[in-house]
Amino acid sequence: MKKRNRGLSRTALIIIVIVGAAILAGYFLGREILREESRKMVAAKPQEHTENRPTSQIPEKLTPEKGKPFVSEEIKKSIPPQSEERGPKSQEDYCAQIQKDITEFFDYLDTKPYIKHLENDQDSYSHFKRLIKGLSSRPPVPAGEGVDSALIARNVFHLYRVLDKGDIRFIKAILRNEQDTLEMNMDLFYKWLMLGNRCPDSEGIRPPLEVLYDYAGFFLNTIGGRAYLFRRPLKLRLLCTYYSLLIIHEADKKGKNSYGIDIFPMIDPLAKEITVYSDLQFREEYVKNLDQLERYYIQKR
């Protein structure tokens, strides 16, 4: 009888810990929503959500200053790499240009005092490669928290277990200091991550789609991932959510949505948030792409 009581006590303790973690995540989530929404969205003017929304252009006043990282015009004007119209040479040029922009971005970072202070004798590109390999070697589990409650605690602390303090300071410093070009840089890194087998990866650091899928699902579909995003600035949360949806969609098209994550209910709420958030240069383009995603899943249902 005593053994049974001890077993029940342990079970009760585990349940209390899990519920406490969920409540804590919800608290931070709610606090961030209130803070960011009141600061960024209260004065924003809603725009009509239509299918024929034109693609946004880069305003002249937002053109990056000299020395700022920027996605090159060659990439912006290039035909998407998956297009059948691309010839071997143009495909090779596309790959080379993206890799050039990536390395130039880290060359630019190495000139900044905040990076020199963090890195000491290590260059930022080497730090980035080490960070990517660490994240790829230990991806999160993007689903199943309702079946295995232990996953909740694992996902809440996942990034802090995989990344060390230097990695976290490195990422936060870049996000804090490079706000002006955040959208263009995220667009560049998304293109680089999604190159897959179309472009060579001589250093072997580009994660496969399966790993990208795990992290996209982590941010969209787990308590820990969603709580992490809601503690970040609103602009970063919207962009991370947007690109996570694109990654899950790509995996879905290729039959690699192994956990069956349904992104359809997430598309319209994100489009509405982006529509009323005025601090995005390419807001109309994001909404246009989300409209296309929504139509894709409506046709499949």
pLDDT tens by residue, 3-39: 444 444 544 444 444 444 444 444 444 444 444 444 4
High-pLDDT (> 70) share of the chain, %: 70
Tokens in use for 174? Answer: 């870049």
CA terminus-to-terminus distance, the chain:
54
More confident residue, 223 or 301: 223
Query: What are the residue ranges spanned by the domains of the chain?
Result: 2-300
Distances (CA, A) of 89 to 93, 188, 228: 6, 21, 42
Query: 31 and 269 in contact (C-beta within 8 Å)?
Result: no
**Contact partners, residue 177, CB within 8 Å, separation at least 6:** 112, 114
CA 236 to chain centre: 8
Residue 89 has a pLDDT of 57
Over residues 31-59, the mean pLDDT reads 41
Chain centroid to Cα 137, Å, comes to 18
The pTM assigned to this predicted structure is: 0.72
Q: Measuring CA to CA, which residue among 88, 106, 107, 85 is closest to residue 96?
A: 88
Radius of gyration over every alpha carbon of the chain, rounded to an integer in angstroms: 21
**Rounded Cα distance, 106 and 96, in Å:** 16
Are the CB atoms for 140 and 211 separated by under 8 Å? no
**H or E element at residue 250:** helix 234-253
Residues near 151 by beta carbon (within 8 Å), at least 6 away in sequence: 141, 144, 145, 222
Single-letter residue type at 209: L
pLDDT of residue 1: 46
Q: What pLDDT, on the 0 to 100 scale, is given for residue 116?
A: 86
Residue-wise pLDDT for 225-236, tens only, equals 999 999 999 999
pLDDT for the residue 118? 84
From the list 115, 135, 290, 104, the residue with the least C-alpha distance to 211 is 135
- Asked if 205 and 189 count as a contact pair (C-beta separation under 8 A), the reply is no
The whole-number pLDDT of residue 117 equals 84
Q: What is the pLDDT of residue 121?
A: 73
Contact 188, 75 (CB under 8 A): yes
What confidence tens digit (pLDDT) does each residue in 204-226 have?
899 999 999 999 999 999 999 99
Sequence-ordered list of residues with C-beta below 8 angstroms from that of 105, at least 6 positions apart, any chain: 69, 185, 188
Query: How much is the mean pLDDT over the chain?
Result: 78
Buried-state track 3-17, b at ≥16 Cβ within 10 A, e below 16: eeeeeeeeeeeeeee
Reported for 283-286, long-range contacts at CB under 8 A and 24+ positions apart, including other chains, are 283/56, 284/53, 284/54, 284/55, 284/56, 285/55, 285/56, 286/242
What are the Cα distances from residue 252, in Å, to 152, 220, 257, 285? 24, 15, 5, 22
Over range 96-102, report the average pLDDT: 94
Place of tokens 């303790």: 13
Q: How far is CA 253 from CA 24, 208, 260, 262, in A?
A: 36, 15, 12, 13
